[in-house]
Structure 1
Amino acid sequence: MILGKHKDICAPFQIFLTLCLLVPLCLLPSEAFTKDLLSPQARKWLTEHDGVIRLAPVPNYPPVDFQDEHGVFSGLSQDYVKAIEELLGFQFKRVKVDSFPDLIQKLKNREVDVTTSIGINDEREGFLDFQAPHVSVRKVIVARQSVNGPLTWEDLAGKKVVLVDGYLVSKMISEKYPKINYHMVENEADGLNHVALGDAYAMVVDLGSASYNIQKAGITNLHVAGKTEYEFDLRFASRNDWPFLNEILQVGLSSIPDHQREKIYQKWTSFTQPAFYQTSQFWYLISILFFAIILLLLAALFVRNRLRLEVVRRTKSLHESEEKFRTLAERSPLAIYLFDGTEKKASYINTTFTKLFGYTIDEVPSLEKWWPLAYPDESYRKEVSDEWDRKVASAFNSKSDIEPMETIVTCKDGSTKNIVWGYTFTGQQNWAFGLDVTERNKLMEEQSRSAQLAALGKVAANIAHEINNPTQAIVAFSELIEESSGQEDFVREMAKRITAEGLKIGELVKTALHYSRKETPIKKPADINRILKHALSLLKGRMRKENINLVLDQGENIPNLLVNSREIAQVIINLVNNSIDALDEIKEPDRGKLIQISTFKSNDKKEVQVIVHDNGEGIPETNMTQIKEAFFTTKEAGRGTGLGLSIVDDIMRNHGGTFELESVEGEYTKAILTFPVTSPSNAEN
């Protein structure tokens, strides 16, 4: 009865007592109800290393591992890492590596403790512990749409195929299929770009990574052209000297529920994105756009008037610039031909061009029309055209002006002119400009001729001396004949000597006339030793007069050279005259004067060299850079024209050879002439 009477009072009290018991339990931490997944030892170790375990994801391997545009580590494996961190209540220290080989090296060096997505092999098991695979990847062959599939390994033989450097599968493929021309890249994105641009035929890559990178880069000309037998499991791996770390990873991975694994997989292997209008970003952009339109409408009224004024100002300025350009172009001494487009159509030629060549823009509307008119000879036209295209391509690639090019142009009236052409490229327009050097070339030819005669003039007195000796002998022999009448044998002997001395005179005169005659320089096979002997015959008298000792070392079996004998003799005369002048300046009276001349061939018979060496005062180092320039001389006025070495250099260039000088001031000067042996037929004496 008592309980029945107080039944209504006890019920609220029981409820209150129950709540008082439950509230403290609710305030206890969740760990009080959840058993720790780790062993006590592993938990202690993890607590001590929380935030210091260095985790380096595989670099640039989307969608498995990569850094997004904000530098945040993302991807399928990174979602697994985050799940492990949440389940076990700790944080990894994430570090970045430069490449996959860099990652492997740092794992080996213990500079990285954990990585997320690598394959297993014997070498890596030597320093890493591996977990069960969390994702599998299949390798496929990706090529351009124009390449028909399915491709096999045999189809790739001899082709340029891209692989990612450092990957285990890259090493396996290159060793198994050595006939393929492999090109290694740092990451999948670079490799796919190579294939898309046509720099490579195909790439062997993970299907998921290929799809992700193709979609992200907006590449539209690639497709999966073949499958391979390679399918790999990717695993978490950790340094094998930290057993607790291996246990922590194993517990964390095995604790991720299946539904969460499926969610991660679908997130990174499905590329279907929600419609843009369903995203918050769309409505954010709509609001910005609305306010922007209002601002634009307000600004348009202001900008419209400003633009109108600016257009008027710039149009006026453009007209003024065009007028200035036209004035300068029309008054320019250069012939200007302006063309553009792939068809190289002319858009402007100046008055100088028309006056120089006789053609108007209607007659040469494109380069295609210009070539046969300017160069009617087909073989010469091809030579000029090929050289022009080569120089223009070189200038275009180096972003510089063209190397000047001299040609002989046929004018409308049939006359020819020597033109030095230049070229420059200004974005959309091509400028060709030519300078008429016809008169300059004639003047240089005349100056060269004058220098040649001046060089021969130096030996004229010596030639007279050489002629005087046999002349006196002839007179003496004649007097002996006159005094010896009736002595027939003696008279006959004297007549022979007179004949011999007369031939000497004739040979000297013939040699001098040959090298002083103006003629077209025709090249013929010739013996360089014979040319040297003839040239020195004109200089022996001067060398004897100057007490100069000549040492001549002529090599044997030297091939004939394709040269103009007169020009090469002029080269020898100029160099020996220079040596004689240098020896005349020797300051020590007891120092002997010596000129050494040698000829020899290279071992492969492709070159022949002539060296003229004197022990004169040498050339100052400050003059070496100018010594070959026309009209440069260090001699007193009246003793030299300054053209001798310039002519030597020009002649050697025209023969496809080289002219070099070596000198030590106060000791010696050495002139080195190098001739090419142009063909096997000319290489035999």
Structure 2
Amino acid sequence: MLTVVKTVVKFGKVFIVLFILFTSGFTFSTGNSRISAGIDFIKEGYPFVFCIGKFNFSKDGKNLNSSFSSDFEASLTEEEKAWLEKHRVIKIAPDPNFAPFEFLDEYGHYLGIGADYIKIIEKMLGVRFEILVYTEWSDVISDFKSGKIDMLNTVFSNEERTSYMLFPKPYLKIPTVAVVRKGEIDQIDEKKLGRYRITMVRDYGLTGHFLNKYPGYNIIFAKNISEALEFLVSKKADVFINDIATTDWYMKENGITSLEIVSYIKPDSYLGFGVRKDYRILKDILEKAQDKIPKGTLNEILNRWIKVNVSLKGVFSKILLLAFILLSVVVIIIVFLLLINARLNSMVKQKTLLLYKELEKSRTLESELRKRGEFLDNILDELPVPMLLVSGDGKIIKMNYHFVQCSGFNRDDFENIEDFFKVILKRKGEREKFIEVWKKKQEDVHSEYNFYSYYLSCKNTGARICDIKVKSIQDVYAILFIDLTDILKLQEELKKSLEEKNLLIKEIHHRVKNNFNIVVSLLNLQKNRVENEEVKKAIMVAQNRIFSMALIHEMLYQTNQFTQVSILNYVDKLIKYLQGLYTNEFQRVDFKVEIEKEIYLPMDVAIPLGMVINEILMNSLKHAFPGKRKGVVRINILRTKDKKLEILIGDDGVGIPPEENFFEKKSLGATLIQSLIYQIKGDFKYYNKNGLTFEIIIPLDKIDVKS
């Protein structure tokens, strides 16, 4: 209780200090601000600014003069110096609507963090950056591709841009966020973004990254950030994905208060320079210049565009309230503990009195224990398991009735346990091992020993196979004999029966496969006698469908797995079979197969799924690549984290007309695909974009799947 009191005193001192600070009006404040999230602009090797509390992006940033490293020019090669001498003017076009990183004010002045940073680069290189003025970012990208622009600033690198642009190392990193209307969406999972209407700025690097990563998403393009925010406010879109800095700037610029940031989205936006593909020397020069800029220079630029306002009075008010609550809780706990302590003292007195009474009863219990000992002795005799009780010095105390009946021995037949096992254990090695372990038992009196499948020689029952279990109970050892003789005989019989069953199942699968092949051969003979090409094609399709089922039975008896089929091996064999049927098509079509290993499906799932895969592949080979068109057929099969099997099969062929629905054509193939997928309790859909792709989802928790 003394410790508790000291703790209360400490809390009281803290409470007084906080009260004095608060009442004295201690505050810290700089500039005007509004509530927003902190931004970590750069980590791990790049300059960074991290704002806590309240901050705002300033629009009145001025050009920042920085000291330049005198050894920058010395770091340049003669070739780089000659290039700079030849290219005294470098054309750069900023994004007019990308504040606070770069933008054009009402007078056409180039401003922003990137503008201040590039002025330092301009001074170091000794060249002039000619600012080309555009009103739309899409026009900037178009003219850059045509070679009218030499360099861009604060751009995002993605896979598509690397084909026409070089990227020195970035100098800014900004978190990417998802913006929604307030109160509509609490949290956004990146994997489920596809269910929303997403708006992004056309031709932004981040937009290109998402288009490449999620080609099927519904993205509404805006010409700039303000228009994207308007799409969101007017409910033309559900989510706006952009970096947090420019989003915050234009929400305030446009007076938008009905939107909020709900989630961070990967990847973060790394911003830096973008250079023409043929200006590799300029890329190297820019990287050297960035290395020579002092580490604090970028922070100075950022500080001119980011203002911090922290008022500690509100913080201290909250701390004071929290301290008061904590102190009140501690006082309540102390009072509660005092009441508990008084209650415990009363209980201890009562228990002491009860223990004294129990001590008086102990003598009576001793006599009862003796009677119970005799009772337990009778129980041991009734146990159906043979058992011995042996003292610590090796003398046999008791053989229960079942042991005497099974072995034919009595306790008086042996002086000690070692003599007993010399007689009853038939094998010399087992006998020596048991005696050796028994001699070491005194090192661990509480140990338990197990001896498995020992051969015993009994008078009454002959040779028996038993597990022997030795358990120490204080200074007495209980030895139990578990007879396995009949069980092992039964196991051997079951093993033989199982082998016969497996052989029979293997023969059945083999015969089913042969019967399928006979049907295929009969159809082949019929096909050779038919002159109508349409009938021949129909017979070949029927042959292919029968083979897809026969292949399952062939794999079942060849791999000795009579209930499970490897989907990887099945698809591989099916493709090889199709290659023999569609020789001309395979010369023009590549197969890209990505199937997770060790996926086995039961026969009742493998057969319908195999037929579905076969139907989709035949559809691609027959219809996706007319004439001499070349292409790729992709097969991806994997398990998802939510215990589902995801199957993607598609091609980059001609697809189907947009106005058509694949499953409304009522062809036999479409009907088979629908009915077979429903049969295995799966879901499916198809995408008619850049070819025809089928997505099939099978819940693994509803079927017996081995992995």
Bucket of the pairwise TM-score, normalised by the shorter protein: 0.3 to 0.5
Give the alignment's TM-score, normalised by structure 1: 0.33
Higher relative contact order (CA 8 A, sep 6+): 2
Structure 1 or 2, whichever has the larger Rg, is 1
